[in-house]
Amino acid sequence: MAVSHLSPEEEELIAAIREIATERVAPRAAEIDRTGEFPWDMKELLAQQDIYAMPFPVEYGGLGSTKLAVVRAIEELSRCCATTGLLLAVQQLGAMPILLAGSEEQKRKYLPPLARGEWLAAFGLTEAGSGSDAAAMRTVAVRKGDRYILNGSKRFITNGGLAQVNTVFALTDPRAGTHGISAFIVERDFPGFAVGRIEDKMGIKGSQTAELIFNDCEVPVENLIGREGDGFRIAMRTLDRTRPGIGAQAVGIAQGALDLAVSYSKQRVQFGRPIAENQGIQFMLADMATKVEAARLLVYNVAEMIDRGEERFTMYSSMAKMFASDIAMQVTSDAIQILGGYGYMKEYPAERMLRDAKITQIYEGTNQIQRLVIARELLARASA
């Protein structure tokens, strides 16, 4: 097990989450994937067990858990069901702009019901023509009296249409590029807010991904997060702190695939002996295990950097997300190979794990973008 500096109390919490994941989440994973329906029972489970409360400060009804404990919780849930692990990860993502830059009034209004799991959160940055290039967004917010009027749309939004609390980014000064982006809290029942298409996805099929539409959507001035023009900085600070959660999701998926491959190789008999006795299989398992552990260390390391209050962790956040997600794709593919024909069939979870792993290379910043972030940080440090 990777080095992890949790308190005894948090170690007990993670052990409890591991047990919950094994006994209650794992039996639901295949059905969630098959139906593609949002797992309301898993949402209620996370709420009842105070798992949703982990990323939130105690003063707002949360547990005040460390970042390390949160990523470990996401990992344990994702080991059994990537969709369920994402429930915790996206709750943190959608709430993070409020945690980082929200007013005291905003925090007291929105964070307690999110911590209790009564409300869901979503993060609205991506648009149909604006993914990695946030400056290309077209959603506009114009202030009129005590309201901002939003027009535009967001695409590929996790929890879209289900979230009561949507942190949405829009241009308040279209001429200023990224400096003209502002952040808003948009409630689901605000006038002019609607849900568009629901996406039919390759993986994480129980997680609802939707288009958000703003047609003269009225947002109270007090729902501006920070100041006008702060939006891009808030979004980047948010993603720096939530990408380790996607790395943890990837580690969990990879660990689940490794566990499956080890178990199957000990049971599958060919030529009169378990295939686990074949050196070729042993080498594959050894490589898979080493990659998973390396990815886990990167994720835990950046989580602890954040917990220590270190400021320059952006590069390590990108490294953790990039490496862990690449490893998840490699390990799930190798698991399918070890299972052979059975690995290709839906009877076994290996093919689901591979489909779920793919998105971790894409969302919260593609791995190509992560490589750019890492390289720019390296070059900036060399220049300094």
Question: Has 364 been annotated as catalytic?
Answer: yes
3 state DSSP class of 206: coil
- Which residues of the chain form beta strands (DSSP E)? 121-124, 140-144, 147-158, 165-171, 181-187, 193-198, 209-220, 224-225, 269-270, 273-274
- The CA distance from 362 to 60, in Å, is 32
Q: Which of 9, 19, 364, 377 is catalytic?
A: 364
| Beta carbons within 10 angstroms of residue 59's beta carbon | 11
Which of 226, 250, 219, 206 has the alpha carbon at shortest distance from 38? 206
Contacts of 102 (CB under 8 A, 6+ apart): 110, 185, 225, 226
- Count, residues in the chain: 384
Contacting residues for 207 by C-beta, under 8 A, at least 6 apart: 38, 83, 86, 87, 90, 158, 159, 201
How far apart CA 349 and CA 254 sit, in angstroms, is 12
| Residues taking part in catalysis | 364
